[in-house]
């Protein structure tokens, strides 16, 4: 069983130098926020992840891959994006 602290550490390690904030709501859903530790600028927030599905190394790896895809797809992060 993976604890919330372990999950946060794995995500932070995968997205360094970004910081990570993980929180669990009353319905046991997880919210992950990736942000710059100095400026506080938020790059990605994902909510509604089911904690019960994140209990194996494989499921955490899959989550990290999905977060990486979302972060890479986030056009707000790219300086060359056109508004």
pLDDT at 81 over 50: no
Which structure tokens are listed for 63? 């989550």
What pLDDT shows up at residue 83?
A: 38
Q: In this structure, are residues 55 and 63 in contact, taking their beta carbons and an 8 Å threshold?
A: no
* pLDDT-based confidence at residue 3 (cuts at 50, 70, 90): confident
pLDDT tens per residue, range 27-59:
889 999 999 999 999 999 999 999 889 888 899
Distance of CA 3 to CAs 6, 22, 34, Å? 5, 11, 18
Q: Is residue 80 one of the residues assigned to a domain?
A: no
Mean of the pLDDT values across residues 4-14? 89
Report the predicted TM-score, pTM, of the whole model to 2 decimal places.
0.80
Q: Is residue 79 one of the residues assigned to a domain?
A: no
Q: Is residue 43 one of the residues assigned to a domain?
A: yes
Average of per-residue pLDDT values in the chain: 86
Q: Is residue 78 one of the residues assigned to a domain?
A: no
Which structure tokens are listed for 5? 């602290």
Q: Is residue 59 one of the residues assigned to a domain?
A: yes
Residue 29 domain boundaries: 4-73
Mean of the pLDDT values across residues 61-70? 94
Q: Is residue 10 one of the residues assigned to a domain?
A: yes
């Amino acid at each position: 069983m993976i604890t919330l602290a372990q999950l946060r550490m794995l995500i932070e390690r995968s997205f360094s130098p970004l910081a990570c904030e993980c929180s669990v709501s009353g319905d046991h859903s997880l919210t992950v926020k990736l942000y710059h530790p100095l400026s506080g600028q938020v790059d990605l927030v994902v909510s509604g992840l089911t904690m019960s599905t994140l209990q194996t190394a494989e499921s955490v790896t899959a989550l990290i891959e999905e977060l990486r895809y979302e972060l890479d797809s986030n056009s707000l992060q790219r300086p060359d994006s056109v508004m």
